[in-house]
Structure 1
Amino acid sequence: MSKIFFITFVAISVLFSSKVLAQGEKQQHRHFDKEAFQAKRNAFITAEVGLTPEEAAAFIPLCNELQQKMFEVGRECRKLTKDLKHKNPPTESDYSKVNDECLGVKMKEAALEKEYYEKFKKILSPEKLYKYRRAEYKFARNFMKGPDDRKDENKKK
């Protein structure tokens, strides 16, 4: 009886410790490395669009500049949305403020996209601009899936 108890105890301990270690590894990967993300994105876009070295040298810095401005424009919307989660309970006025700010952000982002589209047209052909938009979408989808989902998808292929 004591052997069965001991074996069960050891088995449960091993399972529990492996779960704790796995969670520790996941928490280490939660830190967002902006430079690594940007490098992966730039490499992905360069490859997907088929940019020449000259095109990449002119286009990628503009692309990064646009992304930085888009991030800055959305900062207030993200802050208000985060604050709303901590209000208990949020008022109709709080919801209106967040909705209005986030709609304003979308309008500012559209204006930025238009402004940079005009700059991009001077560097890339219409075909490559089209491929760029598709590459941005594809990269975002792959990024949002996360590494575990991408592994599962690769196994299916």
Structure 2
Amino acid sequence: MKTLFILLISCITSLSALAQRDEGRRFDMEKFEAAKIAFLTQRLDISPEQATEFWPIYNQFDEKRKGVHMELRKAMHQKTENISPEKATELINKKFELQQELLDIEKKFSKQVLEVLSPVQVYRLGEIEREFLRHLYRSTRDGGRREPDGS
């Protein structure tokens, strides 16, 4: 319980620091990752024993996923003015290949992580990742401040 409290405080502090960063400064990826770890650990109620096995698997998965997402963005953000039918077909096929690769990565990750986390924790992981990003976005958008009415 004490560990979870410390992780929660760490998450809040990290999110606050991210939200208050100067516009001219670069995004601090280390603080982002620390906040994400604390948030996911707390929300999924990952035990210290689970964490030692989970995070290496998750980090490897996340790196692979980021790489495929970057390729997908590149493929989908090509200029479409005067695009040939052949090039359009090639890009459509590339999009489906990359989406399949993402699915394959997700399946492999789920299989591996089910050996460490409960099925409920694994099931909730994706939603909690999205919740973290929404929370971070809102904190950044609001400058780390919330209005008195809670909005």
Name the CA distance, whole Å, in 1 between partners of 2:82 and 2:43: 44
Write the mapping of 1:1-157 to structure 2, written as runs, cut at 5 A. 25-26=22-23, 28-29=24-25, 31-82=26-77, 84=78, 87=79, 89-93=81-85, 94-145=87-138, 147-149=140-142, 151=144, 154-155=146-147, 156-157=149-150
- The TM-score, its normalising length taken from structure 1, stands at 0.67
Q: Please state how far the C-alpha of 1:106 moved relative to its aligned partner.
A: 1.3
5+ long unaligned stretches in structure 1: 1-24
| 1:87-112 C-alpha deviation (Å, 9 max, x unpaired) | 47241444433332222211111111
1:33-88 Cα distance to aligned partner (Å, 9 max, x none): 33322222111100111111111111112111111001122332222334x1xx47
Structure 2 SS opposite 1:91:
coil
CA spacing shift, 1:149–1:102, aligned 2, 3 Å: farther
AA of the residue aligned to 1:99: I
Distance in 1 separating the partners of 2:93 and 2:30: 32
Report SS of the residue matched to 2:129. Answer: helix
Tell me, yes or no, if the aligned pair for 1:44 and 1:139 is still in contact at 8 Å: yes
% same residue: 24
Higher helix share: 1
Calculate the TM-score normalised by the size of structure 2: 0.70
- 1:119, 1:95 → 2: CA distance? 36
Bigger Cα displacement from structure 2, 142-151 vs 103-112: 142-151
Assess, with a 3 A threshold, how the Cα gap between structure 1 residues 62 and 150 changes in structure 2: closer, same or farther: farther
Structure 2, unmatched stretches of 5+, are 1-21
Report runs of 4+ in structure 1 exceeding 6 Å deviation: none
1:77 to 1:132, Cα distance in 2 relative to 1, 3 A: closer
**CA 1:33–1:100 in structure 2 vs 1: closer, same or farther (change >3 Å)?**
farther
- CA RMSD in angstroms, aligned pairs only: 2.4
Letter in 1 for 2:43: E
Distance 1:123 1:139 in 2: 22
